[in-house]
Chain A
Amino acid sequence: MRRVGVTGRGLVVALPYMWLLLFFVVPFVIVLKISFSDIDLAIPPYKPLLEWVGKNSLAIKLNFNNYAFLFTDRLYVNAFLNSIKVAFISTVLCLAVGYPMAYGIARAKPAVRNLLLLLVILPFWTSLLLRVYAWIGLLKANGVINNVLLWLGLIHEPLTMLYTPFAMYIGIVYSYLPFFILPLYANLEKMDWQLLEAAEDLGCRPWQAFYKITLPLSRNGILAGSMLVFIPAVGEFVIPALLGGPNALMIGRVLWDEFFSNRAWPVASAVAILLLILLVPFMMWYQSVQARESAGAR
């Protein structure tokens, strides 16, 4: 495609480029700007940064109070720390559940493999909201799990599962599992399994061979899957709101409440900026892992 002229190339990428610049990058600049403005009882509920003072002087007023507020109130610090903890534990759980599944799918016969892969993808196509909702029906006091356990006689009174951290973890792992399995599967599928046979011929036990060969070779798949779970999970709103109960302090929820309930747009913007600063290193890491994966594939 070298012969497509420079102008031709420019035209092809210009449209998506401009679109993303306007609707994805510029908005962050505006969020940054509003995170420095004062809250105002007006529509929209913030004061302008730039103001004409007198005739010929334009004053910029940067207000750091929103940030100072976030660091002085324990609620916000705790929400940040708790979100990182929840996202991290969920990622580890996805690894524990997803790795054996991705491995099993990658080693299945080709015909079975495609069917299993389809079964992993299918839930991802049905609404996230509805799948999270399904867990309310399973976990609540007179829900399916409690009814089955009572009927079996294993418990005598219903367990409290809904609106607990447990429910939230289940919801996150359940919703994000396909995102973990798919990149890991794509990585394992390219694996040369003869390496394992060679290792076993040379006296390696299966577990040793897995630990010394499969695991290091699938490192990029694990990393890509983990990032796809961890990064969005830190800012997750729907799952903690529906399954976590009122005490589930997640930063995505705090942002939502500041914005919709308190109408504190500048505070919500400051939360968004801090969250972004926290997550950008992970996003860059994800991109470099992706670049390595596709360089290895060609």
Chain B
Amino acid sequence: MNYKSSYFILTCLGFGFAFLYVPILSMVVFSFNASKLVTVWDAANSPTLKWYYALLNNEEVLDAAWISLKIAVINASGSVILGTLAGFGLARFSQFRGRFTLNAMTTAPLVMPEVITGLSLLLLFVALEQLIGWPAGRGITTMTIGHMTFSMAYVTVIVNSRLATFDTALEEAAMDLGARPLKVFFVITLPIIFPAILSGWLLAFTLSWDDLVISSFTSGPGSSTLPMVVFSKVRLGVSPEINVLATITITVVTLMIAGVSLWMSRMAKLDKAAA
């Protein structure tokens, strides 16, 4: 391609990325600011790590983070199972009863406003409790179910689009050679979609870790997640500890994404070398 980007496009890219990254970088910088005013730089005492110590000794935040972590891990694992099944079904079975409905049910959660999903899940849990006594009260279980319902839709899309780029030749060949469908799935299909499953797991984890609205509707007393604690703090204005939390989150996410994409590009190279 001998196309040269015009100055207009380059300027737009520059401003666009500045728009995306200035807020993130400002949180990182001010997390080292000594002043309680957060955005007014206290040159005499900064940079400092005092807010890092404060955050790591904040019981409320740590408890909430532990609850969030539990929910996120269960949610990611469950969503990956449900989403892989749905994505595989949609990509590989051209016709089955309920295909249209399944497709609609896995697309809608991606765009559904969270207040609607959250409210409707809560009303379901209340109605179920009245009818059959389960779930008894609300807490980690109900929040996890809520998170899985929208996370699995994302996993479905990722797995489905990964499978769409691979034709069925390998799977067909294995079956011609006498492998049973289940074996074909585990020996051929699963390795093909493994990168998609991994990204799906990480995405489901992040979606759950970040979720505020659905958690707020489906949580019970004593089970506040990290975003719920952050939200109640942030409503009162800026707080230096939240900047620290943001910096830690950004660092972890960046390292994770960089690691996974390096690993994936290496796998892609191996694939090419093998072909």
Contact = CB atoms under 8 A, between A and B. Distances in A.
Interface of A: 1, 3-4, 6, 8-10, 12-13, 15-17, 19-21, 23-28, 30-31, 34, 44, 97-98, 100-101, 103-105, 107-109, 114, 116, 118-123, 125-131, 133-138, 140, 142-144, 147, 174, 177, 193, 206, 227-228, 231-232, 234-238, 241-242, 252, 255-256, 259-260, 265, 268-269, 272, 275-276, 279, 282-283, 286-287, 290, 294, 297-298
B238 A125 contact: no
B187 interface: no
Nearest to B245: A130
Contacts of B92: 1, 4
A16 B9 contact: no
Contacts of B81: 15
B75 interface: no
Given A269-B119, A279-B113, A103 B26 contact: no
B196 interface: no
B27 A129 contact: no
Contacts of B216: 260
Contacts of A234: 113
Contacts of A15: 81-82, 85
B20 A127 contact: no
A235 B171 contact: no
B106 A255 contact: no
Contact of B120 (A28, A105, A252): A28
Interface string B93-137: 100101001111111111111111101110110110010000000
A61 B131 CA distance: 20
A13 B120 CA distance: 24
A137 B257 contact: no
By Cβ-Cβ distance, the 9 closest A-B pairs, closest first, are A235-B113, A27-B120, A100-B12, A134-B23, A16-B86, A13-B89, A27-B124, A20-B105, A231-B111
A193 B3 contact: yes
24 contacts: A6-B96, A9-B93, A17-B98, A19-B82, A23-B124, A24-B109, A27-B123, A27-B124, A107-B5, A114-B265, A119-B20, A125-B206, A127-B210, A127-B246, A136-B237, A137-B27, A137-B238, A138-B22, A174-B20, A241-B235, A256-B115, A265-B123, A279-B111, A287-B104
Given A16-B152, A19-B82, A127 B107 contact: no
A269 B13 CA distance: 43
A1 B93 contact: yes
A130 B114 contact: no
A272 B206 contact: no
Contact of B83 (A16, A97, A129, A131): A16
Contacts of B102: 13, 16-17, 20
